[in-house]
């Protein structure tokens, strides 16, 4: 039996999604609870990693089990939510075909980045937004965002330690909306390298501040020259927003 789940989590207190030795991760926390339910080791396959401090609005994962005591999907969802801490929640659970793989079957991913400007974050917004003291120019940031659309080699927009040999990805859409003092940036692509979204958002902010030029970004996307200012934004404002299959 192959079980698919949609997972929400606040990433502040976790060292990312993927299980690692001596660190608290989302994958590890859910696997422990699944092993309590099924009385056997469970391997949870996620759609991809999220870094330490990054949040999940819709992480997708699946696992296989041959346990004859398997709960129906609704009962499993409810049981997991009763065992998990309040910063992780299973929002959906279903039986899918055996070939489904949360990572390998994925076609598109969308990440969202949230920025609060001018007015400081409230206690409820802390660790959920990047706070910037000044108002950002929406038109200017949209102009640069358009450069990232299409297929590019993102070797200059990823951190070391990225998985795989190929650093080419396709960006399908990149939208930026602004409502009062809140800005939301949503980027949809075929996949993302380690730190890629945070470095792209950092480039937009540095461009808005006139610390880099549009030509600088174009050259970096063509692999001609690294950005002189290539600072990643903090993880606190980043959310895995959606995964499409």
The pair of three-digit structure tokens given for residue 105, joined into one six-digit string: 């079957």
Mark 128-151 as b/e (b = at least 16 C-beta within 10 Å): bbbbbeeebeeeebbebbebbeee
Hey, which residues are catalytic here?
51
Q: Which tokens is 149 given?
A: 């659309």
CA distance 243 to 239: 12
Q: What angle do CA 119, 124, 127 make, to 5 degrees?
A: 80
* Beta strands in 13-145, from DSSP E residues, in sequence order: 45-46, 55-64, 88-96, 108-117, 130-132
DSSP run (H or E) holding 189? strand 182-189
Dist. CA 46–CA 19, nearest whole Å: 10
The continuous run of DSSP H or E covering 243 comes out as strand 238-244
Dig out the tokens for 235 from the structure. 């993880």
Nearest CA among 29, 156, 9 for reference residue 84: 29
Which secondary-structure segment (H or E) carries 172? strand 168-179
């Amino acid at each position: 039996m192959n079980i698919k789940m949609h997972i929400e989590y606040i990433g502040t207190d976790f060292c990312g999604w993927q299980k690692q030795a001596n660190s608290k991760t989302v994958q590890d926390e859910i696997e422990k609870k699944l092993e309590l339910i099924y009385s056997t080791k469970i391997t949870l396959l996620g759609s991809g990693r999220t870094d330490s401090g990054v949040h999940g609005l819709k992480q997708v994962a699946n696992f296989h089990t041959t346990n004859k005591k398997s709960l129906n999907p609704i009962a499993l969802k409810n049981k997991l939510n009763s065992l998990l801490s309040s910063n992780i929640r299973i929002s959906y659970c279903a039986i899918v075909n055996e070939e489904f793989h949360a990572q390998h079957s994925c076609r598109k991913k969308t990440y969202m980045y949230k920025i609060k400007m001018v007015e400081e974050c409230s206690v409820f917004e802390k660790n959920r937004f990047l706070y910037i003291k000044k108002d950002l120019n929406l038109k200017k940031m949209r102009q640069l965002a358009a450069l990232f659309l299409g297929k590019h080699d993102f070797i200059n927009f990823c951190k070391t330690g990225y998985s795989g040999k190929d650093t080419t990805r396709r960006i399908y859409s990149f939208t930026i909306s602004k409502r009062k003092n809140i800005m939301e940036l949503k980027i949809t692509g075929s996949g993302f390298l380690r730190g890629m979204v945070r470095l792209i958002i950092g480039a937009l902010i540095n461009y808005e501040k006139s610390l880099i030029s549009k030509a600088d970004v174009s050259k970096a996307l063509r692999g001609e020259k690294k950005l002189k200012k290539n600072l990643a934004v903090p993880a606190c404002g980043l959310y895995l927003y959606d995964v499409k299959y």
